[in-house]
Amino acid sequence: MSAIRLGAVAYLNARPLVYGLELKPSQFALRFDAPSKCASLLHENAIDVGMIPSIELLRGHGSYRIVPDLAIASDGEVASVALFCRTPLEEVQTIAADTSSRTSNGLLRILCYERFGIDPEFIPMPPDPRAMLERCDAALIIGDPALFLDVAATAVRKIDLGDEWTSMTGLPFVWAFWAGRAAACPPAGVSALTAARDSGVAASDRIADDYCGADRAALCRRYLRENIRYQLGEREQAGLRQYYELAAKYDLVEGTRPIAFY
């Protein structure tokens, strides 16, 4: 059997999910990309299994299945997905939307309608905080750029989207998960991905230190321990279903479909 072509997100929060997989080249061919690129590669059949933004399950191949109980999720503050505002939130008319993101873009649109009471224009831009905030009233930034942005130095307000979602719904938010076509990940692959997650969570301090260096080690350790969850349990699935229903309500997707697992 050829190696499973695996597309992972190139952010710190994905590293525990792929811990040690680079040592299994006969089983996995691993690459790292932005979340939006992972989705495109899976839709194009350029990878077999991708760590895709959760909204992309409704935009891709009808037979996508999810690797069970593995996700990048949060239950409250996520720290790495946020709206950075240079004006009061109620006065925001333009938002620079990180082109790396798809799920977060959808979530922010829902929050604007359901929670913030605004209807701003979204302008797609690369994740360059200075350029984004020079052009627009606010910037949606995800991943490492959002986690490491110095809010005090930038003189902006940070609105954490994970915290806003959980405050609104009482549920976790699922940002991404492993997904692929029905035959793409056999039981041995599922077992290996689960084992990688378990090992990665246990080694999260080491991962944070290696990834972030001494200056940011404490921040990154806390982030992996306290902000990010790697399970896709019943509460996470409930949050995912509610997100899908709201995405359909606001025409961000054509409709919902049942969640299927390997």
- Tell me: the pLDDT tens digits for 155-186? 899 999 999 999 999 999 999 999 999 999 99
Can you give the residue ranges of every domain in the chain? 4-73+174-214+229-239, 81-169
Task: Give pLDDT, residue 44.
Answer: 94
Phi, psi of 113 (to 5 degrees): -80, -45
Which stretches of 44-128 are DSSP H helices? 103-111
Which pTM does this prediction carry? 0.95
Architecture per CATH, domain 4-73+174-214+229-239, reads as 3-Layer(aba) Sandwich (3.40)
Cα(131)–Cα(128) distance, integer angstroms: 6
- What number does CATH give the domain 81-169? 3.40.190.10
Distance (Å, whole) CA 177 – CA 179: 6
Cβ atoms of 12 and 35 closer than 8 Å: no
Whether the pLDDT of residue 61 is over 70: the answer is no
Q: What is the pLDDT of residues 200-235, one digit of tens each?
A: 999 999 999 999 999 999 999 999 999 999 999 999
Fold equal for 4-73+174-214+229-239 and 81-169: yes
Taking CA atoms, 225 is separated from 150, 204, 232, 243, in Å, by 21, 7, 16, 24
* Closest to 28 measured CA to CA, from 49, 11, 52, 46: 49
- Distance, in Å, from the CA atom of 260 to the CA atom of 127, rounded to the nearest integer, reads 32
Pairwise pLDDT comparison (146 vs 254), residue with the higher score: 146
